Structure 1
Amino acid sequence: MECLDCVEATARLHLYIDRELSTEEVAIVQQHLVGCPHCECRFHFDLEVKRLIHERCTIERAPAHLREAVMRLARGERGKIDADLAHEIKREIKADLEGC
């Protein structure tokens, strides 16, 4: 089994984290991580950054009634939106803006 230096291991870390390496390459990277505390630390840091990005950047879906109203507006069907729904849309937009 081939042994990696730190530069080669670091170059493969994101592929390793994303599970895009072959079985043999995974074993080689794992072997290096076990024997190199610096690269293992880098691996855990990169893994945590990736997790945080995924957690914080996940787009929440708007409620169904809001998506439907926006699509009606986009199609030019303004008359089909009743006053209650228009009020609800304004309230949700205001709440979203205040959260920024």
Structure 2
Amino acid sequence: MECLDCVEATARLHLYIDRELTAEEVEIVQQHLEGCPNCDCRFHFDLQLKRLIHERCTIEHAPVHLREAVMRLAQGERSKIDADLAREIKKEMKADLEGWR
């Protein structure tokens, strides 16, 4: 079994957290974490950060009316868009295009 230095262990932490290592690699990383308080601290920090991001960045469901409209479009139904909204969208697109020039 190989021994990891801190640089190699840190490089594998995210793979370890995401469970993307082989069983042998997991064992190697775990042994390093057990013997290295600095890397163990980094591991727990990264793990908590990943959990926090997952918690805070979970996408809310779109409103029912929006999901239904998207499904109708996906199924090929054409729906009329409000004329005022269409003009506003075209105006914004024209302004965006002019901004690129």
- TM-score under structure 1 length normalisation: 0.68
List alignment gaps of at least 5 residues for structure 1. Answer: 80-100
Deviations 1:57-81 (A, max 9, x none): 11110232342246669x65248xx
Give the CA RMSD over aligned residues. Answer: 2.2
List alignment gaps of at least 5 residues for structure 2. Answer: 82-101
Identity over aligned pairs, percent: 81
- Higher-Rg structure is 2
- The list of structure 1 runs, each at least 4 consecutive aligned residues, that deviate by more than 4 angstroms after superposition, is 69-73
Number of aligned residue pairs: 79
2:39 partner amino acid: C
Asked if the contact 1:3/1:32 (under 8 Å) is kept, the reply is yes
**Alpha-carbon distance in structure 2 between the residues aligned to 1:6 and 1:17:** 16
Residue in 2 aligned with 1:77? 79
Asked if the contact 1:6/1:39 (under 8 Å) is kept, the reply is yes
**Alpha-carbon distance in structure 1 between the residues aligned to 2:72 and 2:12:** 47
Residue in 1 aligned with 2:93? none
